[in-house]
Chains A and B, each alone.
Chain A
Amino acid sequence: MQNWIEILLRSTVLFITIFVLIKIIGKRNVARMSAFNFVNYGIIAIITALISVKIIENIAVGVVALAVWLFIPIILDYLALKSKLAHNWIHGRELILIKNGKVLEDNLKLARLTGEDLLKELRSREVFSLMNVEFALMEPSGEINLLLKSDKLPITPGHLGVKVNPQTSPQTVILDGNIINESLSNLGLNISWLMNQLESTGVTLDNVFIGQVDSSGDLYLDLFDDLIQLPQPTVREMLCASLEKCQADLTTFAFETQDSEAKEMYSKNVQRLEELIRKLRPYLTR
């Protein structure tokens, strides 16, 4: 057999096998692999390359070596799934570097980090003052994660006790001018609704590149023709403003009327409306 045909065959077969097996090993992010995994992948790559270009002449020898490096990690991963002890032994344990705001020097030494390294890592997480760190640990992959002191954490609506509009993931209903029926029916909407929306904005379907419906049912469109300015969906803000206007009107009526019964009716409804706006506001503002 001619040399190049053999190499072609070897390479193609190896390509397919490795492609399938690497998929089985898993889709862990290459950058976050443990050191061992990294070495393992490297060795698989090297053995494959050597077999592929016929530096390892004997296919059987190559395949055995490859099989060992491919299957032992799969077995180890399986063990790690089954037992916590095996997991710690295989993947390593996280190492606590800062606890209660104090640096644990012994663990720092175990992780082979100097104080400067630690500070550099903290800075890369936008923490410049050690004072602000409550807790930090090194993951088995070498990544350092930290928790800020509770008074240095970013404020969320939860801290302020503010209710916000519950957002679910927006659904893409138009892509490249094509309607995606599946996501439309996920939202409980149909094509005629979409067509109505498009008509009211004055856009044809084939001019739409991306159309998304958010959890509140507003349609956002991105057009192929970037010169067309589309009005942003503002029905909610308008509704909020209109309710506020009605409330103001009722207050005026309450002042102006001389009929005491009507005055009472107006002021009662002003209060109802105020309460209603307070309840609705989280849902009507983004």
Chain B
Amino acid sequence: MVEIKHEGGVKMTVAMSVKKTLADLNGSKATLKIYSLQAANEEAKEIYKETTDVMEDIISDLEQRVKTLEFEEPQYKGF
């Protein structure tokens, strides 16, 4: 089952676009982590920490999905 998605005129498989979102999420998580370390305000620090944890959960869910997709579309593995 290969689902094809069109994005910007380039054919992108689902696995590729999920990976791209995953990369974006990872970037945002890293930024949040930096903020949680440098925030001066306790409340803000707490919120940043909490959201970083939630981000980690979301990321691990997506990683799981990417693994399944790669199994389904082995020709795109590693992109």
Contact = CB atoms under 8 A, between A and B. Distances in A.
Interface of A: 165-166, 168, 187-189, 215-217, 235, 239, 242-243, 245-246, 249-250, 253, 256-258, 262, 265-266, 268-269, 272-273, 275-276, 279-280, 283
A61 to B, nearest CB: 60
B61 A256 contact: no
Given A249-B21, A272-B58, A258 B1 contact: yes
16 contacts: A215-B40, A216-B35, A216-B44, A217-B35, A217-B38, A235-B31, A239-B28, A242-B28, A246-B24, A246-B25, A257-B3, A257-B14, A269-B62, A275-B54, A280-B32, A283-B44
Contacts, number: 76
Interface residues of B, number: 34
Interface of B: 1, 3, 5, 14, 17-18, 20-21, 24-25, 27-28, 31-32, 35, 38-41, 43-44, 47-48, 50-51, 54-55, 57-58, 61-62, 64-65, 68
Residue in A168, A189, A250, A258 whose Cβ sees the most chain B Cβ within 10 Å: A250
A168 B21 contact: no
A256 B58 contact: no
Contacts of A250: 21
Contacts of B48: 283
Contacts of A249: 17, 20-21, 24
